[in-house]
Amino acid sequence: MTPQIAIVFGAFLFMIVFMIWGKIEPCIVVMLSLGFLWFTGILDTATAFGQFSGNTIIVMIFMMMCSAGLMKTNILIHITHLVKRLNGGERVLYIVAMLTPFVLCQFMGGVSSLMTTIPLLVGLADTNNIPRTRLILPALVGSQFGIGLFPIGMSTSLYLQKNEFLATMGSPYTLGFWDIMGTRLPGVLAAMLFVVLIGYKLLPDVPGRCSSDIPDEVQLKASDLPRWKEIASYLIFIAVLLGMIFNNQLGISGGQIAFLGAVLYLVLGILPQREAFASVNWSIVFMVAFGIAMSSALVSSGAADVIAELTGRVITDQTSLILLCILIFIFCAIVTQFFDNNTLVNIMTPVMIAACGGVGLNPLPIICCVDLSSMASIMTPLSGPGGMLAYTMGGYSYKDMIKFGAPLILVQAIVTAVWVPFYFGLL
């Protein structure tokens, strides 16, 4: 182990320990860790702070403004009345909390879908007199597990990416167009069913404020916007969502689309300037940007390669494919709590292909388990922008997220480990 790798592991251990301790603000903990890596030369200035100009951060800032503009309308009244007509009580709210971002993230990023959904859930929680903490984590489940599930848009390339790894490394196996969805879906449904039947009991029941960018005073009251402004607000928000869905066809980024939407809300007078800038939670912005930079440190230092190599040693034979799938799933699910899921997939997939090839094992079930486990970024705020967003806006503790996420991931691991080998005809 090189000194650089040891320093990176030390910085991550520092973050984990002090976030669990909970006596220091998470943003300060991440800033100290990042600053240490910056001053020691592990990260250069561009990598440490360049994320603030990245598309993810820009989307977050301006989607916060767009969501604030939407909240000026009667949208909460309409949704609350719909939920009440369903007459299903709190469990219906859990389903709404999961399915809303789940559907949205088929067409846009997981963070964008979560950012779009959270203000609505906060309003639903307040108007239905339940703590906000009981809805935001289920929303995180929907936004994470739904990413790339259906072969829509950019998700159609997921199997091609893995086939490229397989071909490059000389494997005779290939994934089909529907294999990503086919292998993921049972585990995802099992996780959501677990939340509705059992997991909701593990959600913290803590009344009080959520994030400062979502006012605590959200009430079920009619909008004071003129009719034309309310209609315009709906149209702008729909246009932003459609723009993010078809941004590749339009040739513009998600950040540019969110920016244009925010500008329209300001120009038309739907959202006053002061409210627009107050709607941006800079603590979240800093946390997400610094978290991405910390993930870069894992890759650039070689620490991620060390993790991947250790994992590859697990695959020595094929005596128990189900057990192997469970072990790989749980290991990758733990690792993905601390850095970007795409990074994990890109590192672990070739390692697993090579390890399977060395013992004559079909790598498809294993790489599919890696694919699904990388989506289980729900146990720590370090898991990615979505986890940090839920952590900050939900006012959760580190322990809250682990308590809710750990059994959910275990259920998903068991279902996936049995289903995936069966799906490929290996059981």
Residue 74 carries which DSSP code?
S
pLDDT of residue 343: 65
From 102, 160, 93, 164, select the one nearest 132 (Cα to Cα).
93
- What is the per-residue pLDDT across 22-38, written as a single tens digit (0 to 9) for each? 677 777 888 898 899 99
In percent, the amount of the chain with pLDDT more than 90 equals: 12
Q: Report the first-to-last Cα separation within the chain, whole angstroms.
A: 39
Q: Give pLDDT, residue 235.
A: 94
Lowest-confidence segment of 54-58, 87-91, 258-262 by average pLDDT? 87-91
Question: What is residue 210's predicted lDDT score, i.e. its pLDDT?
Answer: 47
CA 344/CA 338 separation, integer angstroms? 10
Inform me whether the pLDDT recorded for 82 exceeds 80: no
Q: Is 92 among the domain residues?
A: no
| Mean pLDDT taken over the chain | 80
What is the sign of the dihedral through the CA atoms of 74, 77, 83 and 89? positive
Q: Is residue 114 part of a domain?
A: no
Indicate whether 317 pLDDT > 90.
Answer: no
Q: pTM, whole model, 2 decimals?
A: 0.66
**φ/ψ of residue 348, rounded to 5:** -75, -30
Tens of pLDDT along 145-197?
Answer: 888 787 665 565 667 678 877 887 778 888 887 888 888 899 899 999 999 99
386, part of any domain? yes
Among 39, 47, 31, 25, smallest CA distance to 297 is for: 47
Confidence band (pLDDT; 50, 70, 90) for 329?
A: confident
Mean pLDDT of 118-127: 76
**Domain annotation covers residue 348:** yes
Residue identified by tokens 């005809």 is: 425
User: What pLDDT score was predicted for residue 186?
Assistant: 92
Task: Give the separation between CA 260 and CA 235, rounded to whole angstroms.
Answer: 13
Note whether residue 333 is domain-resident.
yes
pLDDT value, residue 109: 66
- pLDDT at residue 420 greater than cutoff 80: yes
Both tokens of 195, joined, read: 């939340």
Is residue 169 in some structural domain? yes
Q: Give the Cα separation of 127 and 209 in Å (integer).
A: 14
Contact 402, 379 (CB under 8 A): yes
Q: Which carries the bigger pLDDT value, residue 255 or residue 20?
A: 255
Mean pLDDT within 295-319: 69
Average pLDDT over residues 294-312: 72
pLDDT at residue 1 is higher than 80 = no
Which pLDDT score, from 0 to 100, does residue 155 have?
60
Instruction: Identify the domain containing residue 303 by its residue range.
Output: 154-182+293-423
pLDDT tier at 17 (50, 70, 90 boundaries)? confident
Q: Which residue has better confidence, 394 or 81?
A: 394
Q: How many domains does the chain have?
A: 1
pLDDT-based confidence at residue 209 (cuts at 50, 70, 90): very low
Report pLDDT digits (tens) over 406-419: 999 999 989 998 99
Average pLDDT over residues 44-52: 84
Of 112 and 235, which is predicted with more confidence? 235
Instruction: Note whether residue 218 is domain-resident.
Output: no
pLDDT digits (tens, 9 = 90+) for 214-262: 444 334 467 788 989 999 999 998 898 788 778 778 888 888 998 999 9
| Confidence class for position 76, pLDDT limits 50, 70, 90 | low
Considering 101-105, 268-272, 395-399, the range whose residues carry the highest mean pLDDT is: 268-272
| Cα dihedral sign, 122-128-131-136 | negative
Is 279 within the bounds of a domain? no
Helix axes 227-245 and 55-70, enclosed angle (nearest 10): 150
